[in-house]
Amino acid sequence: MNIFEYYLSEINKLVVNHKNDLQLKNTDNLKNVNLEVPPVQFDFDLSCNIALVLAKSNKLNPKNLAISFKKLFESKIKNFVKIEIAGPGFLNIKLSNLALIKIINLILNNNQKYGSINSNETYNIEFVSANPTGPMHVGHCRGAVYGDVLANLLKFNGNKVTKEYYINDYGNQIKHFVESVFLRIREIKFNEKFPLKENLYPAIYIKEIAQEILDKNKDKDFDNFNKNYNFLKEKSLNESMSLIKKDLSQLGISHDNFFSETELVNRNLVNQAVKHLDRKKLVEEGFLEKPKGEVIENWKKIKRLIFKSTLFGDDTDRALQKNDGSWTYFANDVAYHMDKVNRNYNNLVNVLGADHTGYIKRITAAVSALSDNKVKLNCKVCQLVKLYKNGKPFKMSKRAGDFISAQDLLNEVDKDSLRFMMLNRSNDVELDFDFDKVKEKTKDNPVFYVQYAYARINSLLRTLNIDLDNKILLNEENFELNKNEEKIIRKIFEWPKTIESASKNFELHKIPFYLYELSTLFHSYWSKGNIDKKYKFIENNEIKRIEILAIINLVVVVIQNGMRILGVSLPKKM
């Protein structure tokens, strides 16, 4: 239950029905009215800005209007037992015990869906899509975790989600990769020196891929590159994708669909996409000016097919053909997104690396053109990750070559820590990942602190032999909360707003932030019992008050839901 939505709806209805009594001529901007949790210094459950919003549009004094609202709400909403006016006209509201008990019971009865938004849309989330030329690196890890958790969040809200990986297995980069594998095979089999040649992949993992291919194809003749190219391409890509899938599996990630760029070309989808745009009169033959600020060797002003992407918000029209008349990478991408549009998704999401920011406008324009503005594409860029160990930048591995691999990370920290910490800052800012902090068993390690809250609760339940599945019967007459319990309950009530906010703009970092804040409140309450006996949870080997059991249960519900979205485990013992 989202108590903010529930009571905001009740307030708005009441105001509309009594607008003449309140001397309100205009209630059109009720959509700007909010219900929030008031600042911690105020001992109230809700805070409303309605007097400020409507006073401005009706040219009234906000404090005088707040007084009128206070009288109306106290007389008409029975669950509002105390209302105070704060600041320029905010209304701080305290709920009745009956209301609190009702909300607690609703949360506990709907525990696994508490906080979810009722939605039923279809999403295709394309993420990772690392070039299949070797194992994943640390930058891929951040995007991989982000995409997977976004899928979990959307599923939690009731949506249907397809997690997709686009395999860039076409073009010159793949040719260089396959040639590198071939030369490593020659090195292993015939003791030929691997050449220092531009565009080749010299890293040790290429030698490992070559060895795997040799071990599985002992009788194969590798005397000629061109003759063996198709065979080697297939085998090399299989081995490389196996490395990537292994890395993803260790991160707790699996994709529903793998889409091959080579298959896209073989199915003639690029021609189909260009013809589709041409029928809409969105393609023309013309000339493009040389890109400003870029140094491009052998650039020539050549007539080519151009997509009119400026009609859909792009900064410039985009070439669909290279100088030699072959399709650009962008043309292939247009075809891929046409295929996704044709698969009838309501929403497309691309999770991109830090170097793809400049690509967003053109591909967003393409999706708008292909779908007649019916399909929404949302591109989220995950910025760089900086690794630190012992206070110093973490050095790259020799096996990977010139990057830090996902395996390097997983050798240092467990999957749970990696997933939680990769989301601990907004995706659009750089992330400092400190191995030492992640291994600490202190408040400074957020993932430990959340897991420890859950483990502490389970330790308490084992001591008392209590099963939280049993119904908790709260009594209105004897219901009483201390200040610590009020803080925790108010934080619990915020959970649906956190999910709503995280879902609206895909701001996933808000979920680990919230879980850490909730866990901090719980640990603080627990620790007070070590200082003052009146705050202890247990007395004479029994739970002291039924309210404590309700609080514990609420914390468990939210931590379980939150960590399930994050894909992070919850050990019962630590």
For the cut 60, the answer to whether the pLDDT of residue 398 exceeds it is: no
CB distance 490 to 560 below 8 Å: no
Portion of the chain with pLDDT greater than 70, in percent: 97
Domain 446-566 has CATH 1.10.730.10: yes
- Which residues make beta-bridge pairs with 305? 285
Residue among 164, 169, 140 at smallest CA distance from 244: 140
* Nearby residues of 135 by Cβ (< 8 Å), 6 or more positions away: 205, 240, 243, 244, 247, 400, 405, 406, 407
Query: What is the average pLDDT across 36-45?
Result: 90
Type and span of the H or E element at 353: strand 347-353
- Which residues make beta-bridge pairs with 385? 431
How confident is the model over 287-318, as pLDDT tens digits? Answer: 877 766 556 666 677 888 999 999 999 999 99
CB distance 570 to 563 below 8 Å: yes
Cα–Cα distance measured from residue 251 to residue 419, given in angstroms and rounded to the nearest whole number: 7
Query: What is the average pLDDT across 201-206?
Result: 91
pLDDT band, very low/low/confident/very high, at 397 (cuts 50, 70, 90): low
Residue 58 C-alpha from the chain's centroid: 41
Residue 299's pLDDT is what?
A: 64
* Nearby residues of 437 by Cβ (< 8 Å), 6 or more positions away: 444, 445
Cα–Cα distance measured from residue 1 to residue 466, given in angstroms and rounded to the nearest whole number: 25
Portion of the chain with pLDDT greater than 90, in percent: 75
Cα–Cα distance measured from residue 47 to residue 70, given in angstroms and rounded to the nearest whole number: 12
For the cut 70, the answer to whether the pLDDT of residue 402 exceeds it is: no
CA-to-CA dists, residue 370 to 103, 169, 246, 305, angstroms: 46, 24, 35, 17
Sheet holding 318-319, edge to edge: 283-286, 304-307, 318-319
Helix (H, G, I), strand (E, B) or coil at 419: helix
SS3 content of the chain, % helix, strand, coil (to 5): 50, 15, 35
For the cut 60, the answer to whether the pLDDT of residue 400 exceeds it is: no
| Pairing mode, strands 347-353 and 376-382 | parallel
Type and span of the H or E element at 259: strand 257-260
Residue among 308, 312, 318, 304 at smallest CA distance from 281: 308
Cα–Cα distance measured from residue 380 to residue 423, given in angstroms and rounded to the nearest whole number: 13
For the cut 80, the answer to whether the pLDDT of residue 401 exceeds it is: no
Cα–Cα distance measured from residue 410 to residue 141, given in angstroms and rounded to the nearest whole number: 10
With tokens 């033959």, the residue in question is: 285
Q: Alpha helices, DSSP H only, in 62-171?
A: 62-76, 97-109, 138-156
Over its C-alpha atoms, the chain yields an Rg (Å, rounded) of 29
pLDDT band, very low/low/confident/very high, at 196 (cuts 50, 70, 90): confident
Residue 470's pLDDT is what?
A: 78
For the CA atoms of 244, 250, 251, 254, the dihedral, rounded to the nearest 10 degrees, stands at 60
Neighbours of 139 (CB within 10 A): 19
For the cut 70, the answer to whether the pLDDT of residue 250 exceeds it is: yes
Residue 295's pLDDT is what?
A: 61
Q: What is the DSSP letter of 539?
A: E
Query: What is the average pLDDT across 102-121?
Result: 93
Cα–Cα distance measured from residue 401 to residue 206, given in angstroms and rounded to the nearest whole number: 10
CB distance 74 to 80 below 8 Å: yes
Residue 482's pLDDT is what?
A: 94
Residue 405's pLDDT is what?
A: 84
* Nearby residues of 18 by Cβ (< 8 Å), 6 or more positions away: 72
Residue 29's pLDDT is what?
A: 87
pLDDT band, very low/low/confident/very high, at 530 (cuts 50, 70, 90): confident
Residue 230's pLDDT is what?
A: 95
Residue 30 C-alpha from the chain's centroid: 31
CB distance 308 to 324 below 8 Å: no
> Which long-range contacts link 294-298 to residues 24+ away (Cβ below 8 Å)?
298/323
Residue among 333, 423, 393, 360 at smallest CA distance from 144: 423
Query: What is the average pLDDT across 121-141?
Result: 92
How confident is the prediction for the chain on average, in pLDDT? Answer: 92
How confident is the model over 41-74, as pLDDT tens digits? Answer: 899 999 999 999 999 899 999 999 999 999 999 9
CB distance 144 to 184 below 8 Å: no
CATH class of 3-95: alpha beta
Residue 475's pLDDT is what?
A: 84
Torsion sign over Cα 167, 173, 177, 179: positive
Query: What is the average pLDDT across 167-189?
Result: 95
Residue among 11, 46, 5, 38 at smallest CA distance from 27: 11
Query: What is the average pLDDT across 556-567?
Result: 98
Residue among 249, 56, 244 at smallest CA distance from 134: 244
Neighbours of 120 (CB within 10 A): 9
Helix (H, G, I), strand (E, B) or coil at 284: strand
CB distance 128 to 147 below 8 Å: yes
For the cut 90, the answer to whether the pLDDT of residue 473 exceeds it is: no
Query: What is the average pLDDT across 276-294?
Result: 84
CB distance 340 to 348 below 8 Å: yes
Please provide residue 120's backbone torsions phi and psi, each rounded to the nearest 5 degrees.
Answer: -145, 60
Provide the residue ranges of all domains of the chain, joining segments of one domain with +. Answer: 3-95, 446-566
| Pairing mode, strands 80-86 and 304-307 | unpaired
For the cut 70, the answer to whether the pLDDT of residue 338 exceeds it is: yes
Residue 297's pLDDT is what?
A: 65
Sheet holding 35-36, edge to edge: 35-36, 46-48, 90-95, 80-86
pLDDT band, very low/low/confident/very high, at 569 (cuts 50, 70, 90): very high
Q: What is the DSSP letter of 423?
A: T
Cα–Cα distance measured from residue 70 to residue 516, given in angstroms and rounded to the nearest whole number: 35
